[in-house]
Amino acid sequence: MFEVEIKNLKVFANIGITAEERKKKQLLKVTLNFSYSVQKNKNLEKMSNLKSYSEITQSLKKFINESKYNTLEKLIMSSSQMVEKKFKIKKIKIKIDKTIVAKRYGSETVSVSN
């Protein structure tokens, strides 16, 4: 079993409860964790037997960038479902940090994860 972490992927997205908040894309930092197995008899040097971190990262970034959700919770659930379906990965955890909003409250970040 392999454990993979793609940490603090910078993505801009229209997200927020208010229309004003959604008007301008905001910087999000996304961390994706997942695990997967490769059959023992498969060659670990052959990319076709592995998960492509590059493809997963690009797809996740594109999905989030094009999304228009009000909440981080909905964005996380939809993103998880997309990665699970497209890349056949079952154990997915996504954490999103929204630093801009947190600064208004004197905090470093607001994070939501599944």
pLDDT, tens digit, 9 for 90 and up, residues 59-114: 999 999 999 999 999 999 999 999 999 999 988 999 999 987 777 788 888 899 99
Number of domains in the chain: 1
pLDDT, tens digit, 9 for 90 and up, residues 35-53: 999 988 898 999 889 999 9
Q: What pLDDT was estimated at residue 31?
A: 98
CATH at 75: 3.30.1130.10
Residue 51 belongs to what domain range? 2-113
Q: What pLDDT was estimated at residue 3?
A: 96
User: What DSSP line would sit under the chain, residue for residue?
Assistant: -EEEEEEEEEEEE---SSHHHHSS-EEEEEEEEEEE---TTS-TT-GGGS--HHHHHHHHHHHHHH---S-HHHHHHHHHHHHHHHHT--EEEEEEEEHHHHHHTT-S-EEEE-
